[in-house]
A = this chain, B = another copy of it.
Amino acid sequence: MIIVLRSGATQEQIDDVVKRLEKLGFGAHVSQGVERTIIGAIGDERRVNLEEKIGVLPFVEKVIPVLAPYRLTSREFREADTTVKVGDVEIGMGKFVLIAGPCSVESEEQIVETALRIKEAGAKILRGGAFKPRTSPYSFQGLAEEGLKFLAKAREVSGLPIVTEALGVEELPLVAEYADMIQIGARNMQNFRLLEAAGRLHKPVLLKRGMMNTVEELLMSAEYILAQGNHQVVLCERGIRTFEPSTRNTLDLSCIPLVKMQSHLPILADPSHGTGRSDLVETMSLAALAAGADGVIVEVHPNPVEALSDGPQSLTPEQFYHLVREIKKLAVVMEKEV
A interface list, Cβ under 8 A from B: 2, 4, 7, 27, 29, 31-36, 38, 40-44, 46-47, 49, 51-53, 55-57, 64, 66-67, 69-70, 76, 133-140, 167-171, 187-188, 190-194, 196, 210-217, 220, 223-224, 227, 240-247, 250-258, 261, 274-275, 279-280, 283-284, 286-292, 304-305, 307-312, 314, 329-330, 332-334
Contacts and interface: CB of A to CB of B under 8 A. Distances in A.
Given A33-B43, A188-B191, A212-B241, 17 more contacts: A31-B42, A32-B42, A35-B67, A52-B309, A52-B310, A56-B304, A168-B193, A168-B194, A212-B243, A214-B243, A214-B245, A240-B242, A253-B253, A253-B287, A287-B287, A290-B290, A332-B333
A128 to B, nearest CB: 16
A307 B250 contact: no
A244 B170 contact: no
Given A42-B34, A43-B34, A246-B214, A311 B135 contact: no
Contact of A257 (B33, B284, B304): B284
Contacts of A190: 133, 135, 187-188
A6 to B, nearest CB: 11
A28 B190 CA distance: 41
Contacts of A257: 279-280, 283-284
B67 A36 contact: yes
Contacts of A168: 168-169, 191, 193-194
Contacts of A244: 214-215, 240, 252, 255
A1 to B, nearest CB: 9
A135 B220 contact: yes
A229 B35 CA distance: 25
Contacts of A312: 51-52, 55-56
Contacts of A332: 333
A287 B251 CA distance: 12
30 contacts: A2-B38, A31-B42, A33-B66, A34-B43, A49-B309, A51-B312, A52-B312, A53-B311, A56-B304, A56-B305, A57-B305, A133-B190, A136-B223, A137-B196, A168-B169, A168-B193, A212-B213, A240-B244, A240-B250, A242-B242, A247-B258, A257-B284, A283-B290, A283-B292, A284-B291, A287-B288, A290-B290, A290-B330, A330-B330, A330-B334
